[in-house]
Chains A and B, each alone.
Chain A
């Protein structure tokens, strides 16, 4: 059985894959993570998470084109799958419903996002 829930780090990485779309490869995701969260992360950690996400079926990947700065090596571009998007949506709705039950915040509107 494959675990289909998302961990916090996994969710962020999955979102970043969606945001970066064409440029979503391990190094770029790690850089983006660092600049958005200001938390250091190693490429290996990101890559490991991407592999896990792929096992769960949330991302798909294919080899991209080679560039000179990588010594002529190609990069693996990750793409979010339909079930990945569904998982993100479920996660967001689940959290929204939790937020709504929180009395202090229930009056706020989240529709703006």
Chain B
């Protein structure tokens, strides 16, 4: 090889050229290059390259590098001068700078926390390699009454249709509902969650299969477990899971399953959570009702060939209708898996939002807060910089061009934002653990990684530019002659500009505060609303394993505990319920109509135990022998059926005909986003899956006793229970969390706005020191002066409130409209909030004005 084909590493060469003193460049670069070719020819070129770097780094010595010797670059000298002046200024006005940095840090910290959270939310489910081509199938069921019910559970036969008739589908994953299974292996026992899945599961999704063949989900006698679960049930040495293969696990006290594979447990960015997967084939074989187009049981995720989504969407829409003869209308739609986490709410078959609403609310709050913070800093700097017109004048007289003065002020604000950002990063780092507990989402700096740095850099640059705009534009424009006299020529215009900023930032703060108030009002309303069920002191115990069959005995034992007043049972939690049927028939029903009605299967004493109000007729009980074909309905159902008096009307559900024996008051079956559906209550004691226990007195003690009793009767299963009021409140966690965060935002933005107001008052009283002195000499009272000084700002605050109210109302109405049951915006609350803002603002202004007013006029008049 000839030397021409090789050349020293360019980056290293550029680095040394850049850093080296100019006068040394020729000899040093010459030496380095000669050495490079020597080594390259005698040894190897790779070695030569490495050596070149080594030599370059060894040249980074004080004698050779330009920054250690005086450099004649004028920019460098000026920048050094700017820095010096910036530090002197900051030191001279320590209180100002301190307040400014404090405000910026506070605001930046809040913004960073929110942006990190938003960033994480947007990452969910995007770790799948082909996430942009994976679609989830949803099923819209069109009701005769015009409603559309949307579900993700699709008839199982769609699996065959999609895999054989759709060439665009490259892989298809069908997943059952997520369930809790009792897993046993020797002494180890525990409840684990997972689901049944079709063979191509690991092809569609990027969950990592650690060991096991690709056909891992074929044989129904196999089970695939997560690494976490494998470690729990087997001895795993290091990370070697191959030993686990072929071992057995007993599920639900039935036959043993063979472990055929181990996958890495889903990370927190996966919306599916599971520790085991069983082959879907097994579930279908055991459930004869499943392979029918009339029922929905499987969630489908399809990986489509790129760009084929529109064609598939069109074709798949009528797939259910094409296979069902009855008069129903059910349409399938596709949703990208990247959207399913944040956009999970359906309103009449159309995706309307979900978590994204909260992402948007908090992003908006964070952006507004960021603006408030920057405007505030800008205001402070500009107020302060008026004192520096003299400096600018002298600089200009000495020949500094405008652009260069501008650089100075931008640099200063950049310095300020860098400093605040560093502090905010530290604060964020300290607060992140608490924040992730608050929002119930695990977050850490490690996980954020590079994005932290890029966010921070963006924040610094953006904030620095934003803050630097005003002083850098206005100040250098001042006429030298005025500037030297220490007068600013632009006082009027600058003053009104600052007023606009103050109004703007105060308005934003008030909007955020109003928002916090309205969210917490709605949350309180939801939590305290009478949902038609007495949910206090109501305990729900899952009847697992054989406990369901032993329910009568269990109930008797429970009633022996003194705190237990009543016990009933149902198929599921009655206030978080989704089961429905389209099979109800009654006299006068339009035979072609397709009406979906909620149905809940209950045991004795259901109405009494739950505290549901009976409006007419009687409750269901074993005392009336034939109650298994008798029904209760709610008011909504009565309305739809068109009965004025539904009692004794005939009703058939799932082909079982009987009488309506009672009418109950509407109660909320699910959350308040949903309207109350028509409900049928059916007496089917054999389907009791949860026990509903009404307690009174010492609840703590009762829980202990019920625990002992349940564990005694059902030793293998861990005791699991919930209290209805708690689980009800938990279902509004999102709202509560968002309310809390917005409340913090409101506090922070009010504090920052007050800092701004305070410093601006300081500034304006400073400008009027002489005026105040003269007024006092002529006999003005302190209160008159305070009034005079505060008047200007009071008008501004009032204006901000007036601006904030309509903006708040528009946004709040939009948010509240999602709820079927919502509050009206309380005018009184707005007034109280506005008054509070007014008082806080006036106090801030007043304190400063008072200080100025009580000052001895001798002092202010003396200096001339």
**Chain B binding site: helix, strand, loop or mixed by DSSP?**
helix
By a CB distance below 8 angstroms, the chain A residues around B64 are: 44, 47-48
Known interface pairs A42-B54, A44-B55; A27-B63 also in contact (CB < 8 Å): no
Pairwise interchain contact B31-A27, C-beta atoms closer than 8 A:
yes
Pairwise interchain contact A73-B26, C-beta atoms closer than 8 A:
yes
B59 proximal to A (CB < 8 A): yes
B28 proximal to A (CB < 8 A): yes
Known interface pairs A42-B58, A43-B55, A74-B26; A48-B31 also in contact (CB < 8 Å): no
A56 proximal to B (CB < 8 A): no
By a CB distance below 8 angstroms, the chain A residues around B28 are: 26, 43, 47
Once bound together, how far apart are the Cα atoms of A82 and B64, in whole Å? 26
Q: Which of A7-15, A63-71, A84-92, A101-109 contacts B (4 or more CB under 8 A)?
A: A63-71
Question: Which residues of chain B in 11-70 are interfacial with respect to chain A, using CB atoms and an 8 Å cutoff?
Answer: 26-35, 37-38, 54-55, 58-61, 63-64
Pairwise interchain contact A75-B27, C-beta atoms closer than 8 A:
yes
Pairwise interchain contact B30-A73, C-beta atoms closer than 8 A:
yes
Pairwise interchain contact B59-A74, C-beta atoms closer than 8 A:
no
A58 proximal to B (CB < 8 A): no
By a CB distance below 8 angstroms, the chain A residues around B675 are: none
Pairwise interchain contact B29-A73, C-beta atoms closer than 8 A:
yes
Q: Closest CB of chain A to B641's CB: distance in Å? A: 94
Pairwise interchain contact B33-A42, C-beta atoms closer than 8 A:
no
Pairwise interchain contact B31-A25, C-beta atoms closer than 8 A:
yes
Q: Closest CB of chain A to B257's CB: distance in Å? A: 64
By a CB distance below 8 angstroms, the chain A residues around B616 are: none
* Total chain A interface residues with beta-carbon distance under 8 A: 21
B98 proximal to A (CB < 8 A): no
Pairwise interchain contact B34-A27, C-beta atoms closer than 8 A:
yes
Q: Closest CB of chain B to A104's CB: distance in Å? A: 40
Pairwise interchain contact B55-A26, C-beta atoms closer than 8 A:
no
**Chain A binding site: helix, strand, loop or mixed by DSSP?**
helix
Once bound together, how far apart are the Cα atoms of A70 and B29, in whole Å? 8
Pairwise interchain contact B58-A44, C-beta atoms closer than 8 A:
yes
From B27, B54, B63, A74 is in contact (CB under 8 Å) with B27
From B32, B34, B60, B63, A51 is in contact (CB under 8 Å) with B63
B3 proximal to A (CB < 8 A): yes
Once bound together, how far apart are the Cα atoms of A73 and B38, in whole Å? 16
Q: Mark A6-43, 1 if CB is under 8 A from B, else 0.
A: 00000000000000000001110001000000000011
Instruction: Name the residue on B nearest A55 (C-beta).
Output: B63
Pairwise interchain contact B30-A47, C-beta atoms closer than 8 A:
no
From A42, A47, A48, A70, B34 is in contact (CB under 8 Å) with A70
A96 proximal to B (CB < 8 A): no
Once bound together, how far apart are the Cα atoms of A31 and B39, in whole Å? 11
Pairwise interchain contact B31-A42, C-beta atoms closer than 8 A:
no
Pairwise interchain contact B29-A69, C-beta atoms closer than 8 A:
no
By a CB distance below 8 angstroms, the chain B residues around A71 are: 29-30, 33
By a CB distance below 8 angstroms, the chain B residues around A52 are: 63
Once bound together, how far apart are the Cα atoms of A25 and B61, in whole Å? 18
Q: Closest CB of chain B to A43's CB: distance in Å? A: 5
Pairwise interchain contact B31-A75, C-beta atoms closer than 8 A:
yes
Instruction: Name the residue on B nearest A77 (C-beta).
Output: B27
Pairwise interchain contact A44-B59, C-beta atoms closer than 8 A:
yes
Once bound together, how far apart are the Cα atoms of A83 and B29, in whole Å? 30
Pairwise interchain contact B54-A69, C-beta atoms closer than 8 A:
no
By a CB distance below 8 angstroms, the chain A residues around B59 are: 42-44, 47
Pairwise interchain contact B55-A76, C-beta atoms closer than 8 A:
no
Known interface pairs A42-B54, A43-B59; A25-B27 also in contact (CB < 8 Å): yes
Instruction: Name the residue on A nearest B29 (C-beta).
Output: A73
Pairwise interchain contact A44-B35, C-beta atoms closer than 8 A:
no
Known interface pairs A42-B54, A73-B29, A74-B30; A27-B61 also in contact (CB < 8 Å): no
From A26, A31, A42, A44, B27 is in contact (CB under 8 Å) with A26
Q: Closest CB of chain B to A21's CB: distance in Å? A: 18
From B30, B58, B61, A70 is in contact (CB under 8 Å) with B30
By a CB distance below 8 angstroms, the chain A residues around B54 are: 42
Known interface pairs A47-B28, A51-B63; A69-B33 also in contact (CB < 8 Å): yes
Once bound together, how far apart are the Cα atoms of A51 and B35, in whole Å? 20
Q: Closest CB of chain A to B807's CB: distance in Å? A: 64
Pairwise interchain contact B27-A69, C-beta atoms closer than 8 A:
no
Pairwise interchain contact A48-B63, C-beta atoms closer than 8 A:
yes
By a CB distance below 8 angstroms, the chain A residues around B3 are: 69
Instruction: Name the residue on A nearest B54 (C-beta).
Output: A42
Pairwise interchain contact B27-A63, C-beta atoms closer than 8 A:
yes
Once bound together, how far apart are the Cα atoms of A73 and B33, in whole Å? 9
By a CB distance below 8 angstroms, the chain A residues around B35 are: 27, 43
Pairwise interchain contact A48-B61, C-beta atoms closer than 8 A:
yes
Q: Closest CB of chain A to B774's CB: distance in Å? A: 65
By a CB distance below 8 angstroms, the chain B residues around A26 are: 27-28, 31
Once bound together, how far apart are the Cα atoms of A74 and B26, in whole Å? 7
By a CB distance below 8 angstroms, the chain A residues around B55 are: 42-44
Most buried by A among B29, B35, B37, B54: B35
Once bound together, how far apart are the Cα atoms of A42 and B60, in whole Å? 11
Once bound together, how far apart are the Cα atoms of A31 and B60, in whole Å? 20
By a CB distance below 8 angstroms, the chain A residues around B38 are: 31
Once bound together, how far apart are the Cα atoms of A56 and B34, in whole Å? 28
Pairwise interchain contact B30-A43, C-beta atoms closer than 8 A:
no
By a CB distance below 8 angstroms, the chain B residues around A27 are: 31, 34-35
- Residues of B with Cβ closer than 8 Å to A? 3, 26-35, 37-38, 54-55, 58-61, 63-64
20 CB < 8 A contacts A-B: A25-B27, A27-B31, A43-B55, A44-B55, A44-B58, A44-B64, A47-B31, A47-B63, A47-B64, A48-B64, A63-B26, A67-B34, A69-B3, A70-B33, A73-B26, A73-B27, A74-B26, A74-B27, A75-B27, A75-B30
Given A63-B27, A73-B26, A73-B33; 19 other pairs, CB 8 A cutoff: A26-B31, A27-B31, A27-B34, A27-B35, A31-B38, A42-B54, A43-B58, A44-B61, A45-B58, A45-B61, A47-B31, A47-B63, A48-B61, A67-B34, A69-B34, A73-B27, A73-B29, A74-B27, A75-B30
Q: What 4 pairs between A and B have smallest CB-CB spacing?
A: A73-B30, A42-B58, A44-B58, A70-B30
- Residues of A with Cβ closer than 8 Å to B? 25-27, 31, 42-45, 47-48, 51-52, 63, 67, 69-71, 73-76
